[in-house]
Amino acid sequence: MYIVLLVLKNALRHKLRTILTIVGIVVAITAFGLLRTIVDAWYAGANASSSARLVTRNAVSLVFSMPLTYEQKIRQVPGVASVALANWFGGVYVSERNFFPQFAISAPAYLDMYPEFILTPEERKAFLADRTGAIAGRKLADQYGWKIGDQIPLRGTIFPGTWTFTLRGIYDGADKGTDQSTFFFHWDYLNETMKKQFPRRADQTGVFVVQLKDPQQAAEVSEAIDATFKNSLAETLTETEKAFQLGFVAMTEAILLAIQAVSFVVIVIIMAVMANTMAMTARERYGEYATLKALGFGKGFVALMIFAESFAIALAGGAAAVALTFPLARAFADAMGSLFPIFFVSEDTVIMQLGAAILVGFVAACVPAWKAARVRIVDGLRAVA
């Protein structure tokens, strides 16, 4: 208790210096937390993916579609439980700035494969019954103030014309890692319209989502599906949903690496600042440490006091930074709109932030504690004189 008192009083001795150091730690660790959260958001799609689902796409590029007839053949591949269609729509809601992902899906197969999208039975029934019906994630609906029954017009960019959907359901995520910013409507509606307007583009889909009977068989089933369509006009590339999502992440890997590097550089910088503070603090108190040693306190006690003070300052900054990261992350997510569908501060990030604070406290105290422990009593006492 006495040591705690001494440490706290020492930490607050130069209030301005301590406050400025804590502010520096708060800024650095908050920045670290936000940057880690951005990186997490990038990987959120991959992390939320199921190991029991595969995605089959055109082997040449995702831009090219595949014939609907593949569905039946994929269904016959051993190990496949069910197949659903999904097509990127790429429509514009009111203005180009209002970006959010839209997919034409073959409900109910698709919804059955994604139990993490939670709809009430009434909403699900209403959606399935309405050919022009749509469902949207809670975050998306809240962002635009949509209510059930609202007419939502989308201007097609890949599929020309203005498409008007009736919102029949708002889904919630099973957990906070579930994307709640996507808009789904019926693939049949898209396909029937294509049949009327552009018959050559009908009966095509962007991807097949495959539900596996056994996730352990992902590799074998993927190979079997791709082998089925070898040497056809549209060869396929089948991969796990996670690998499919990571393919998108890989396109921006350099940016991610830069963000990760910056997040760690920030910690190294604050480590240097904190080390300087602790070095100054210890140097000013050599006389006091010498007095303590003369009174019979050991080297370990002196080192412990410096470590404890360093940890106290670093953890105060770390705790404040963690507390600040949550509202800042929320504000950042709001400002970004649907750019990051899943954006939240994870437990891992909080642990890393606190770990960074402890590391900063430890590293900053090492040299001053070592020097103070080694300083000869007579030299320290001379410093007082």
Site string for another protein, 101-140 (x = CB under 8 A): ----------------------------------------
Segment contacting another protein by CB under 8 A, of 9-17, 165-173, 198-206, 333-341: 9-17
Segment contacting another protein by CB under 8 A, of 88-96, 104-112, 230-238, 289-297: 289-297
DSSP 218-249: HHHHHHHHHHHTTTSSS-EEEEEHHHHHHHHH
Name, in order, each residue with C-beta under 8 angstroms of 201's C-beta and a sequence gap of 6 or more. Answer: 65, 159, 194
Helix (H, G, I), strand (E, B) or coil at 287: helix
Q: Of these, 299, 350, 358, 367, which contacts another protein (CB under 8 A)?
A: 299
- Of 13 and 213, the one with the shorter C-beta distance to another protein is 13
- Of 223 and 379, the one with the shorter C-beta distance to another protein is 379
Beta strands in the chain (DSSP E): 53-58, 66-67, 80-88, 102-105, 117-118, 133-137, 151-155, 162-173, 183-186, 204-205, 207-212, 236-240
Report, in Å, the least distance between residue 382 CB and another protein: 9
Q: Of these, 148, 202, 256, 377, which contacts another protein (CB under 8 A)?
A: 377
Q: Is there a contact between 51 and 189 (Cβ–Cβ < 8 Å)? A: no
- Of 16 and 233, the one with the shorter C-beta distance to another protein is 16
Residue 16 contacts another protein per CB under 8 A: no
Report, in Å, the least distance between residue 302 CB and another protein: 11
- b vs e for 175-200, b when ≥16 Cβ sit within 10 Å of the residue's Cβ? eeebbbbbbbbbbebbbebbeeeeee
Can you read off the two tokens belonging to residue 194? 């294509």
Size of the site for another protein (CB under 8 A): 23
Site string for another protein, 183-222 (x = CB under 8 A): ----------------------------------------
Helix then strand count (H, E) for the chain reads 14, 12
| Interface residues toward another protein, by CB under 8 A | 2, 5-6, 9-10, 13, 287-288, 291-299, 376-378, 381, 384-385
